[in-house]
Amino acid sequence: MSDSTLPTVAADTEAPDASPETRAPENRAGLTREVAFTPWSGRHDGDAPGHRRWWQAVRPFTPEATAAAYDGAQRPAVLLGFASDEGVRRNKGRIGAAHGPAAIRSALSPLAFHLDRHVFDAGDVAVPLGTPDGHGPLEEGQERFGTVLASAIDAGALTVGLGGGHETAYASYLGVISSDRAGGSRLGVLNLDAHFDLRDEPRATSGTPFLQMARAEAAEGRALQYAALGISRPGNTRALFDRADELGARYLLDEYTTRATAESFVEDFLADLDAVYLTIDLDVLPADTAPGVSAPASLGVPLEVIVAVVRRVAASGKLLHADIAELNPSLDVDGRTARVAARLVDTILG
């Protein structure tokens, strides 16, 4: 596998056209089926370090290469895609987020590379759409994502998940909670989102991940430390606000989210934690900033505020993992939302 080719991993079936030429030489990340490669490419100004762009910096993930790249100061970064629409489909949303990871990589590829950490790409865990009556291998895909993610975290990486609908968040949680680094630490989940995503449904959807986490934590005798920033009052029913209150969730409404209130909210939340998992649902942003999502915001939190929050979390030294969810390229306008997602990945790692 060359430095500019990366695997995509299907969670269910062998791709019929997976010829030997399109396979990686081995499955070093515990993944079972590699069916295609996503090339990183972009403008080429030269090979000197001063010309470097993301596409020239990213290398394929292996736990060994990632661990070797950790110099004890800056954790290497590992990107892992969750190519899933199934949660959005089950939640009656507009599907297309399965193409989010590829669109984020395309938007990242030409960006100038200013990071002082190594970056690896672990490819995608892909979840095909289920049948109309709701059957599909989403849960298997979430577990598979969690397994790869935990291996990257335990190799010393700062990991970034590329969604996928917001069912990506439960996949992220599975990886975070099973990593050695999460063990014994006071972990919090910070969700930048117009929605609580605390729906009570018989199966996982893009609207259920934080209730799933709360129940998983309760089964272990813990209370989920959950904070949501950018919540839209008309975007969440009274029942969802009540559930947030029952769970002791902290939240800041979009209409009160300024840079000052957001930074203070985040500082207060981080103060009692050792580690934080940050998840960004792009529908927290105004619809003109992020049109390419299933449920665009009527108000939204300005991008400058979201960037300030991300910087604050990254600078805390407590960031264990982050993900960006709900990019739907088929609804995007001129790649605007993908560019914002790429900018946020760059900010998380910068």
Ligand X SMILES: N=CN[C@@H](CCC(=O)O)C(=O)O
Task: Provide the annotated binding site.
Answer: 166, 193, 195, 197, 281, 283
If one asks whether residue 292 binds ligand X (CB under 6 A), the answer comes out as: no
Stretch that binds ligand X, among 53-61, 138-146, 173-181, 194-202 (CB under 6 A): 194-202
If one asks whether residue 96 binds ligand X (CB under 6 A), the answer comes out as: no
- Residue in 121, 197, 254, 332 binding ligand X, rule: CB under 6 A: 197
- What are φ and ψ of residue 13, in 5° steps? -110, 155
Annotated binding site for Mn(2+): 166, 193, 195, 197, 281, 283
- What are φ and ψ of residue 180, in 5° steps? -65, -35
Query: Smallest gap, in angstroms, from Cβ of residue 251 to ligand X?
Result: 14
If one asks whether residue 243 binds ligand X (CB under 6 A), the answer comes out as: no
- Residue in 150, 153, 295, 305 binding ligand X, rule: CB under 6 A: 295
If one asks whether residue 195 binds ligand X (CB under 6 A), the answer comes out as: yes
If one asks whether residue 207 binds ligand X (CB under 6 A), the answer comes out as: yes
**Which residue shows structure tokens 């914002």?**
340
If one asks whether residue 91 binds ligand X (CB under 6 A), the answer comes out as: yes
- Residue in 106, 142, 179, 206 binding ligand X, rule: CB under 6 A: 206
CB 53 within 8 A of CB 42: yes
> 76 touches which of Mn ion, ligand X, none (CB within 5 to 8 A by kind)?
none
Query: Smallest gap, in angstroms, from Cβ of residue 138 to ligand X?
Result: 13
Q: How far, in Å, CA of 125 to CA of 141, rounded?
A: 7
Give me the sign of the Cα torsion angle 300, 306, 307, 308: positive
The helix/strand/coil state of 236 is: coil
- Residue in 75, 89, 90, 166 binding ligand X, rule: CB under 6 A: 166
Q: How far, in Å, CA of 116 to CA of 251, rounded?
A: 33
Q: How far, in Å, CA of 29 to CA of 1, rounded?
A: 14
Query: Smallest gap, in angstroms, from Cβ of residue 168 to ligand X?
Result: 10
Round to the nearest angstrom and report the end-to-end CA distance of the chain. Answer: 27
**Which residue shows structure tokens 């599907």?**
95
Stretch that binds ligand X, among 36-44, 95-103, 191-199, 299-307 (CB under 6 A): 191-199
Q: How far, in Å, CA of 65 to CA of 155, rounded?
A: 9
Question: Would you give the DSSP letter of residue 23?
Answer: S
- What are φ and ψ of residue 298, in 5° steps? -80, -30
Interacting residues with Mn ion (CB under 5 A) = 166, 193-195, 197, 281, 283
Stretch that binds ligand X, among 25-33, 192-200, 215-223, 299-307 (CB under 6 A): 192-200
Q: Which of 76, 165 has the CB closer to ligand X?
A: 165
What number of other Cβ atoms are within 10 A of residue 210's Cβ? 28
Stretch that binds ligand X, among 64-72, 97-105, 199-207, 336-344 (CB under 6 A): 199-207
Q: How far, in Å, CA of 346 to CA of 350, rounded?
A: 6
Q: Which of 69, 192 has the CB closer to ligand X?
A: 192
Binding residues among 101-140 for ligand X as defined by CB under 6 A: none
If one asks whether residue 328 binds ligand X (CB under 6 A), the answer comes out as: no
Buried b (16+ CB within 10 A) or exposed e, 270-309: beebebbbbbbbbbbbbbebbbbbbbbbebbbbbebbebb
What is the contact surface with ligand X in residues (CB under 6 A)?
91, 93, 166, 195, 197, 199, 206-207, 295
